[in-house]
Structure 1
Amino acid sequence: MATVALTQHSKIRQAVEEALGFLPVEELFKNKIVAIHPNDTTATEEDQSGVTQADTLEAVIQFVKRFQPRELIVSGGAGASETDEVFRITGMDRVIEKERVQYVDHNKPPFATVPLDYGPMREVVVHEGVLRYETVVSLSQLKVHSQSVIVGAIKNIAMSWPAADYYGHPRMADQYGRSGMVEDKNGFIVGMLKRFPPHLGIVTGHPAMIATGPTGGIAVETGLVVAGRDPVSVDTVCASLLGFSTMGVEYLRQATKLGLGDGDLSRIEIKGVRLDEAMRIFNERAYGVRKALKSA
């Protein structure tokens, strides 16, 4: 049975620490090369609501440091912008400098070609550095998405690891004619999950995004954090918060069918806030409705 932590607090640091405190994580971090990938798709001076917030990244870095990783890297790879610019606008660059951790823009060369055995592409081009990461932390935002239905722990890695300087910004535009992911985005996400599964998924509603996404939607502060070592289970809980079932999110349906994780809520142990209570909080913050809907 997979375990997913679900917490809520007005201070994101406390929500992150409480969530990670429910999980066995020491073996993931101690003396390991750890990479944290925040959600960094795009940001402007006027709108940073679609990406990981600087205080969230800081909280996760400081938590991981307690376990003395051999290396700690923030691995960025913006989709619709330059990574350096997103980090500058959001202040994540200042967190990296303050915490004295490494930074890699995995959109940049040197590149490596890696085979895939599922989905529309038989291979993918990634930054060489991602192949040496021993523990990958997917630090994402809870968002709806116009193509993949939700953004959670899985998509945050699957659609960021492909090097945008090779495929183009955004990757799905296929401006260089090098990408087949546009043919079956959900299948591609599952193929990437098979090859590059995140070892720890952390998804925050600080803020969450509804209406449309992954950018340009309505940002709502929920204070919710979902975390776990099975990214399929993490995203299953995230989907429930947004009002979707595993069957309603195609990449989750495929991943569950392939046995890449547990997408059955009845088999997921939730620690912390009960799912129905978290749904009530989310609905109230997002829609102004005090109602705990049943998970599908």
Structure 2
Amino acid sequence: MTSENKLVSVIKCRDPGEGAIKAVSLLEAEDDFEPCLGVVFIKPNIVVSIPYDQAPAELTDPSLVAAMVRYFYEHGAKKVVVGERPAWGGSCHDAYRVSGFGKAITENGGILWDLDSDPEVWVPVNGHVFKGIRLPRALVEADLLVNIPKAKTHFLTGVTVGIKNLFGCIRYEDRKKYHREIDLASVLADLLKALPPGLTVVDAVQAMEGFGPHAGTAVEMGLVIAGTDAVAVDTVGTYLMGVEPRSLAILQVAEKLGLGNIDTADIRVVGEELDEVRKTLLPPIFQFVSQHENVHVYAGGVCPGCRPRIPTVPLSYDSSKSYAVIIGREPIAIRPDVEADEVWLIGNCGVRAGMACLLRRAFLGGFHKGVPKVVKVPGCPPLDWYSQRVIFPPLREKGWMT
């Protein structure tokens, strides 16, 4: 698998569906892609149960996926299946219903698939991180896997284009485990070896910048990017977002493992001139600083799984109170002159280190304002706690989640 002399199409458009058809048709015209006559499996990005119009920079546009369903049927596909595994352990049924994907796909003859309910098969990889991985049978046995991600910045990987979207194919429990891996890039490279898509179509009509992939800001790029080589597509997509491809660990690892070439000069681009449509998106800058003045963060040895939880606590903020957030394996000890009404301990490491810190503080000098309220946020990473208290309640309140 190599990206050298590979073809990537870039289309400027207002309508995502039309842009996708044009982008794929360019590949077909160049004899770089041949429509599948068998079973096509489409993997979009539907991370949570929320209407598309309220998260247009977070979810793949349903109209783009619907257009691709029509395209494959018009070109002789036997069956077109659209499947997903929403983030945070949410219900696939709710995600389809609320996002608009359910109606858009079924009205065009597509079959909705719940990857969480699909039997899994063992796929040998002999990769850098794992020897093999269990994946949904429908994905593995499809004649063509079509990856349709959203172009977004990402606090862990810099950006997320096509390769990172494959992460949504694995089990929620595995995602939690690998999200705390420092070497997430190698995990993603192994996953690409296990599940290489035959076609990637990137929805970059409305992209996300800033603290993505969920808390960023929508930005108009007006592009659809397509190609049959996943590394080439990610390289071009990354460049179009204003990021040097060689600065991303996932692309560095992919090239090192022989999965592709990440020099844009070695990739043939048709459609738009890259530098004419390139934008510089705000990066996902992360700081160990709370948005509130009287919330003090004590961090040390924090893995990627816990970092994004800092801006979410305390859940209920009271400006008359003072707060301390302890996070990581070796958080900076609370100084004797620091007092807090509430102490939040984030992740299993933060709970252990924080309790030791509080006990030491109580033994040495006590608390001048009295013993603070201690809130434990357990988990490694604490995604389940976060989902149940931050993500799911407003969705249930609006009827978007059952």
TM-score (structure 2 length as normaliser): 0.64
- Which of 159, 172, 176 matches 1:173? 176
CA contact (8 A) 2:32 2:228 kept: no
Give me the identity figure in percent.
23
| 4+ aligned runs moved over 6 Å, structure 1 | none
CA contact (8 A) 1:54 1:92 kept: yes
Change (3 A) 1:265 1:162: same
Q: State yes or no: 1:2 paired with 2:10.
A: no
**Partner of 1:16 in structure 2?**
20
Aligned counterparts of 1:114 and 1:140: Cα–Cα separation in 2: 23
**Partner of 2:272 in structure 1?**
273
| CA deviation map 1:15-36 (0-9, x unaligned) | 1122111102796433221111
Change (3 A) 1:29 1:238: same
**Partner of 1:149 in structure 2?**
158
Aligned counterparts of 2:216 and 2:251: Cα–Cα separation in 1: 22
What's the CA shift for 1:246?
A: 2.3
**Partner of 1:292 in structure 2?**
none
**Partner of 2:108 in structure 1?**
99
Q: State yes or no: 1:29 paired with 2:35.
A: yes
Aligned counterparts of 2:256 and 2:183: Cα–Cα separation in 1: 17
**Partner of 1:90 in structure 2?**
99
Q: State yes or no: 1:78 paired with 2:82.
A: no
CA contact (8 A) 2:13 2:222 kept: yes
**Partner of 1:236 in structure 2?**
235
| CA deviation map 1:13-60 (0-9, x unaligned) | 221122111102796433221111111122435535311111111121
- Which of 60, 76, 81 matches 1:68? 76
**Partner of 1:290 in structure 2?**
none
| CA deviation map 1:70-113 (0-9, x unaligned) | 22111212122322222222100001220122221112242223
Aligned counterparts of 1:14 and 1:103: Cα–Cα separation in 2: 22
Q: Which amino acid aligns with 1:73?
A: V
- Aligned residue pair count: 273
Moved more, 198-207 or 254-263: 254-263
**Partner of 1:252 in structure 2?**
251
CA contact (8 A) 1:106 1:126 kept: no
What's the CA shift for 1:142?
A: 0.7
CA contact (8 A) 1:172 1:182 kept: no
Q: Which amino acid aligns with 2:161?
A: G
Q: How does 1:110-149 map to 2 (within 5 A)?
A: 110-149=119-158
Aligned counterparts of 2:258 and 2:32: Cα–Cα separation in 1: 25
Aligned counterparts of 1:72 and 1:63: Cα–Cα separation in 2: 10
Aligned counterparts of 2:12 and 2:197: Cα–Cα separation in 1: 23
Can you give the 5+ residue segments of structure 1 that lack an aligned partner in the other structure? 288-296
Can you give the 5+ residue segments of structure 2 that lack an aligned partner in the other structure? 283-402
Cα RMSD after superposing both structures: 2.1
Aligned counterparts of 1:114 and 1:183: Cα–Cα separation in 2: 23
Q: State yes or no: 1:200 paired with 2:199.
A: yes
| CA deviation map 1:187-224 (0-9, x unaligned) | 01000111111111111113200002111210123220
**Partner of 1:216 in structure 2?**
215
Q: Which amino acid aligns with 2:47?
A: T
Moved more, 56-65 or 120-129: 120-129
Aligned counterparts of 2:219 and 2:49: Cα–Cα separation in 1: 16
**Partner of 1:160 in structure 2?**
168
Q: State yes or no: 1:52 paired with 2:60.
A: yes
Aligned counterparts of 1:116 and 1:161: Cα–Cα separation in 2: 15
